[in-house]
Structure 1
């Protein structure tokens, strides 16, 4: 959905603009998001393959096979396997607009993850999650900005969603998940100010009254998007989760897409070797 090539194409043929986006963080971190044509796409009920990389569901775990080349300024091979094992798979869908044109689908908000990439220090096990967004219109057509956060808790996870729609209405909600797949909408904790990003994107996070959410790690800082690790307090429990902020007013600016294209190259031709 963030491919400038797809936007420039008029968004007429999504299967001709497919990619598997991978980002690693910390020392030597890499970013890869190659826009490929339909010749590189193979998909079935269990497997989604784009060129040399694929996502496969084997019935109990999601196996991601990565074989990509990173974008500048740190080019290099990004290769290995990621395994995500859900504690449970939910049946939850949350409409983000009243007409259901945009839907958030938290498939497995409480999961275990094992990362085994072919680079020193890129191997670890820990707490993970798996979600997705679906839509029938461009995000920037319906939203001005949003922030989202997902935080592990003692009994599962809490996710918060805040958005300002183009019509001026707002989304402000939270969902609590347990390890057995149970889910429910809850009153969101109070909204708290969070420091702006290096690109000046305003941010907010949720936390208990009097809590001071703070960024503890920058993961991705772009002109229109940030992803970071944020520490906050929820129901008296200090937790560190993933936080994102998205400025869709910036994203729809014509001057920004050529900048994104430098990090998201287009590769039209692909041939499978079988």
Structure 2
């Protein structure tokens, strides 16, 4: 992931380009062409193609704050995915999803902490979104995206604490009463953020899905924020007409 200036952005009805990478909607598929550089400790080119085929596309927008300054948009909560990157062992296919967050304010101004999880289920895909807002209120969203594309609002099962991440980020998710969720695969571990594959149980069914925990008190720290530049390089002067060497 690379931060780039406005000169590196182009959009059209079916294409979204940021620098040398782009996302293209082709019929019923989203094709993501990646041409980036990895961050330490995996420095080097990251190139290839990811093809995502949604089971369905929703029109749902979930406000995360009462004022609507932040919105979660689950475009395709259930999808087939095919990954073909130019590195040995980085080719696979399976179950995936596609979502996005939009906002008009800084996350750390409106939230102190949140967790999110999406779990494939026999009835579709289950998503849990929980957050602590700066104003003292909380967010508690549980949704079942059924296999036929219908969306059902859930009475979320209890929050259950999980083992902290390697950086000691607090983690929790939803699970049936008496069940203990566990991480089954680490994906990303940072001082303020954890992303992993987690096994939990919902409505009596064990599921494994993607889980994230975000500590925005840590993120807003004057010590932590500068560290992002080490992981996310900046190419403010990149241009489509004369792109400089990466």
The answer to whether TM tops 0.5 is: yes
Over 3 Å off, 4+ runs: none
After TM superposition, the structure 1 = structure 2 runs for residues 239-254 of structure 1, keeping only pairs within 5 Å, are: 239-254=207-222
After TM superposition, the structure 1 = structure 2 runs for residues 26-65 of structure 1, keeping only pairs within 5 Å, are: 33-65=1-33
- Match in the other structure for 1:119: 87
After TM superposition, the structure 1 = structure 2 runs for residues 80-159 of structure 1, keeping only pairs within 5 Å, are: 80-159=48-127
After TM superposition, the structure 1 = structure 2 runs for residues 67-78 of structure 1, keeping only pairs within 5 Å, are: 67-78=35-46
Output one character per residue of 1:58-85: Cα deviation in whole Å (capped at 9) or x when no partner.
2311100001111112201111000000
Contact 2:174 2:200 in 1 (8 A): yes
For residue 273 of structure 1, report the CA deviation from its aligned partner.
Answer: 5.0
Contact 1:152 1:158 in 2 (8 A): yes
Distance 1:109 1:271 in 2: 34
For residue 231 of structure 1, report the CA deviation from its aligned partner.
Answer: 0.3
Output one character per residue of 1:62-111: Cα deviation in whole Å (capped at 9) or x when no partner.
10000111111220111100000000001111111111111111111010
Output one character per residue of 1:172-208: Cα deviation in whole Å (capped at 9) or x when no partner.
1200001222112111111111011111111111111
Q: Structure 2 length as normaliser, TM-score?
A: 0.96
- Match in the other structure for 1:26: none
Output one character per residue of 1:105-147: Cα deviation in whole Å (capped at 9) or x when no partner.
1111010000011111111110000111111111111000000
Q: Secondary structure at the match of 2:226?
A: helix
Output one character per residue of 1:1-31: Cα deviation in whole Å (capped at 9) or x when no partner.
xxxxxxxxxxxxxxxxxxxxxxxxxxxxxxx
For residue 214 of structure 1, the aligned residue among 182, 201, 225 is 182
For residue 272 of structure 1, report the CA deviation from its aligned partner.
Answer: 2.4
Q: Secondary structure at the match of 1:272?
A: coil
Contact 2:72 2:100 in 1 (8 A): yes
> What is the number of equivalent residue pairs in this alignment?
242
Distance 1:271 1:172 in 2: 42
Which of the pair is proportionally richer in strand?
2
Distance 1:105 1:267 in 2: 28
Contact 1:87 1:112 in 2 (8 A): yes
Distance 2:68 2:222 in 1: 27
5+ residue gaps, structure 2, are: none
Q: Structure 1 length as normaliser, TM-score?
A: 0.86
5+ residue gaps, structure 1, are: 1-32
RMSD of equivalent CA atoms: 1.1
- Match in the other structure for 2:233: 265
